[in-house]
Amino acid sequence: MTRIHCILVLCCAIGTGAMSCPADLVAQSAPPQENAPAKSAEQTAPPAKSDGPQAYSGMYSFLKEGEFVQLTGEDAGRVTGFISRFGDQESDKGAFLDQFFKTGKLEGNKLIFTTEVVHGTAFEFKGMVERGDGKKPGDEAYFVLKGTLTQNDSDVNKKVTSHSQDVVLKRFPEDAAPEPEVRK
């Protein structure tokens, strides 16, 4: 992929509003097949090849209202980010906690990340980035993180208790994200 094309796709993905991209650069779908079900190709197709790690970058919902995951796709499948959540233990009840990724990897659309331990809690996610219900890039749930989230809590005696649950974390609409700083 050429550098200009990558920059255009990245601009579309992060929705700076300063630049717009033709729809054909954002997603290309295969021609409809005969006797195909009524679903649109956009709803059934896996993410397009041009949807690399940078296209998945953004804010996604987390477990409770007001909590979120910030995901940033980088080169070579590396993923960085953090979870912002409310503390739920006696010592941090209601406090807003940021848990940065300790590791993160994206191979195709398979996503794995683990967070640093904060106040005795760490998270692991194993799943996939999939197309959601959003109709176009920038819409809510255009991409979703679908998989298993495991919360590992350690007590004062270093005993770890794990709780896993299946989750679907929806990408926030781009207009809900803070505006990027304009450089002069």
What confidence tier does 16 reach under pLDDT thresholds 50, 70, 90?
very low
C-alpha span between 43 and 81 (Å, rounded): 27
To 5 degrees, how large is the angle CA 135–CA 140–CA 145? 100
Q: Which of 95, 174, 81 is nearest to 125 (CA)?
A: 81
Q: Is the pLDDT of residue 37 over 50?
A: no
Q: Which two three-digit tokens encode residue 153?
A: 């809590």
What number is the average pLDDT over the span 111-115?
A: 98
What confidence tier does 92 reach under pLDDT thresholds 50, 70, 90?
confident
Query: According to the model, what pLDDT value does residue 28 have?
Result: 37
Predicted structure pTM score: 0.68
Q: What is the pLDDT of the chain when averaged over all its residues?
A: 77
To 5 degrees, how large is the angle CA 164–CA 168–CA 169? 105
Query: According to the model, what pLDDT value does residue 23 have?
Result: 37
Question: Quick one: residue 88, left, alpha or beta (phi over 0 = left, psi -120 to 50 = alpha)?
Answer: alpha
Sheet strands (E) in the chain:
58-61, 68-73, 79-86, 96-107, 110-115, 121-131, 143-154, 160-170
Domains observed in the chain:
53-176 (2.40.128.30)
Q: Where does residue 65 rank: exposed (0-12), middle (13-18), buried (19+ CB within 10 A)?
A: exposed
Q: Are 87 and 25 in contact (CB under 8 A)?
A: no
DSSP three-state, residue 174: helix
Query: According to the model, what pLDDT value does residue 176 have?
Result: 59
Q: Are 44 and 32 in contact (CB under 8 A)?
A: no
Q: Which two three-digit tokens encode residue 20?
A: 């717009």
Query: According to the model, what pLDDT value does residue 10 have?
Result: 37
Q: Is the pLDDT of residue 51 over 70?
A: no
Q: Which two three-digit tokens encode residue 103?
A: 């590791």
What confidence tier does 131 reach under pLDDT thresholds 50, 70, 90?
very high
140-172 pLDDT, tens digit per residue, is: 999 999 999 999 999 889 999 999 999 999 999
